[in-house]
Amino acid sequence: MADILLYRPHFVAFIILFLLGMYIMVVCLNLVKKLIGMYIMQTSIILFFITLAVKEEGTIPILMPSALALPPEAYANPLPHVLMLTAIVVGVSTLGVSLAMVIALYRKYDTLEEDQILEKIQ
Amino acid sequence: MTLFDDYLLLLLSVVTALGAVFVRDLLSGVLTLAAYSFFLALLWAGLGAVDVAFTEAVVGAGLSTLFFLVALFLTSHQEEVRKRLQVRMVTLGGLGVLGFLLLFGSVDLPVVGDPESLPSKHVSSHYLRKSLEETGTPNVVTAVLADYRGFDTLGETTVIFTAGIGCWMLLRRRDDSAT
Amino acid sequence: MIRPHDSVIVHTLARVFTPIIQLFALYVLIHGHDSPGGGFQAGTLFAASVILPVIAFGIQGSLAVLERRAIILGAVGILLYAGIGLLPLILGGEFLNYGELPIPGMETSTRRHWGILGIETGVTLTVAATAVSIYYSLRERGEEEEK
């Protein structure tokens, strides 16, 4: 298991970031802090997919002109890139709607802490 | 991009993420989050994902930081620190178990950089071979996004439009009779 | 209504940078074929080039009307995308198969090339309009409290 740390540090970093995001979302009571945790979780998953698409000796997935064509092993895998483009844009849309909800809650209850809001609702 | 560069950027990303969550003032936390986004974009550009890095730098570090800052300036940006020791211990225990399971499972994942790994076979090699002659587009990511998988992009554009409508409806005033 | 910023530095920088950002956004959209780029990046850059002068110079007048116009522009973008996709369906092909678009005198791969450019324009319009309208929504709720 020690070769994970030496040869694949990307997976270790992904696990640390994902668990950090989850910890912040569960433990912190401030609503904007929870959204920061959600953003860290989303970007860590994008890191994981990009790591799966890397090829050694591979270049970016923009094809050379057909006179100098290279075999498909010389380009990085473009399919996870496309999925992650969608993931980033959907993530920022979710963030926009969540921040709108946070502002509406603040206008009504004048605090951003989750337990104080729950008290004021009851 | 050598392994040393990967190590450095991964370490910087993790350190800035830890910095973003463990500061007391939310404003500093959000600006550190923008720095974290930029480090991740650099890392992805080095790993060969240039379109994703460009989108993350523009949309992730630009637009989401803007939304966070506007929301923070309209509300307060101090956080009250509570102890909650029992919840923290239980969460740390549970996440430790989850982390161990993930680490244990990642041994079976393909080696980073293997050109014969399974995700690179089947459809992906077809796209890389035929994109220039079928669509006339050297940028394979744009060709796949807009032509081969164009239906997904239609759904994604509808999602972002729905988010715009959702924000509008959540925040309009009660007496807005023009709507 | 948004109050203008009172620093001369911000005014000058907004005046200089707004056309540069718009030109770069147009460049990224059109060169999405040959270099990294495409619709989403260009849309966000367009939104930045609209939000920057709004922050610097303010807006006189009601934000609700501008928001509604921005959302209508976003809907036009999606209609453009779906319209370019429906045209081949009406003419006997499949949905979103740009090879059957009715442009005379081109081979199939060039028709797909122009179809991709058309839908990227639709995506850019929608993303830019939505980002600007989200900014107006978030700002509108705050400005009414400060009066």
Q: Searching chain C, which residue's CA lies closest to the CA of residue A65?
A: C34
**DSSP SS3 for C39:** helix
Q: Is A59 left (phi over 0), alpha (psi -120 to 50) or beta?
A: beta
Residue C127 in this model has a pLDDT that exceeds 80: yes
Establish if B94 belongs to a structural domain.
no
Total tally of structural domains belonging to chain B: 2
Q: What pLDDT shows up at residue B104?
A: 83
Best residue of C33, C40, C78, C144 to probe chain A, by most A CBs closer than 10 Å: C40
Q: Does C93 touch chain B (CB under 8 A)?
A: no
Extents of the domains making up chain C: 8-143
With an 8 Å Cβ cutoff, are A51 and B112 in contact?
yes
Tell me the shortest Cα–Cα distance from B179 to chain A, in angstroms: 18
Answer yes or no: is B19 within a domain: yes
Query: How far B178 CA sits from the closest chain A CA (Å)?
Result: 20
Retrieve residue C129's tokens.
């309009």
Pick the last residue of a domain from B59, B78, B97.
B78
3-state secondary structure of C104: coil
3-state secondary structure of A30: strand
pLDDT of A6? 65
C134–A96 CB contact, under 8 Å: yes
Spatial CA neighbour of B39 closest among A17, C32, A35: A17
Domain span including residue B32: 1-78
CA distance A45 to chain B (A): 12
Q: How far apart are CA B45 and CA A87, in angstroms?
A: 17
Least confident of B123-137, C8-22, C90-104: C90-104
Instruction: Give this complex's ipTM.
Output: 0.89
Closest CA relative to residue A85, chosen from B37, B177, C39, C8: C39
pLDDT score at C65: 83
Same domain as B133, residue B66? no
Overall average pLDDT of the C13-19 stretch: 94
Per-residue pLDDT of chain A in tens (122 residues, 90 and over written 9): 566 566 678 888 999 999 999 999 988 888 899 999 999 999 999 999 998 888 877 788 888 777 677 777 788 888 899 999 999 999 999 999 999 998 888 888 887 788 888 888 88
Write down the residue that tokens 């501008």 correspond to.
C66
Angle at A89 between CA A87 and CA A95, to 5 degrees: 100
The CATH architecture annotation of domain A2-55+73-121 reads Orthogonal Bundle (1.10)
Distance CA B95, CA A24 (A): 11
Q: Are C127 and C44 in contact (CB under 8 A)?
A: yes
Cβ–Cβ contact B146 with C under 8 A: yes
Sequence ranges of the domains in chain A: 2-55+73-121
Tell me, yes or no, whether B67 and B129 share the same domain: no
Which residues fall within 8 angstroms of residue C47, CB to CB, at 6 or more apart? B63, C127, C128, C131, C132, C135
Residue C147: pLDDT above 60?
no
Quick: pLDDT tens for B51-87.
999 999 999 999 999 999 998 888 877 766 677 788 8
The answer on B57 and B5 residing in a single domain is: yes
Q: Are A55 and B113 in contact (CB under 8 A)?
A: yes
pLDDT tens-digit profile of B155-176?
A: 999 999 999 999 988 887 765 5
The answer to the question of residue B164 being in a domain is: yes
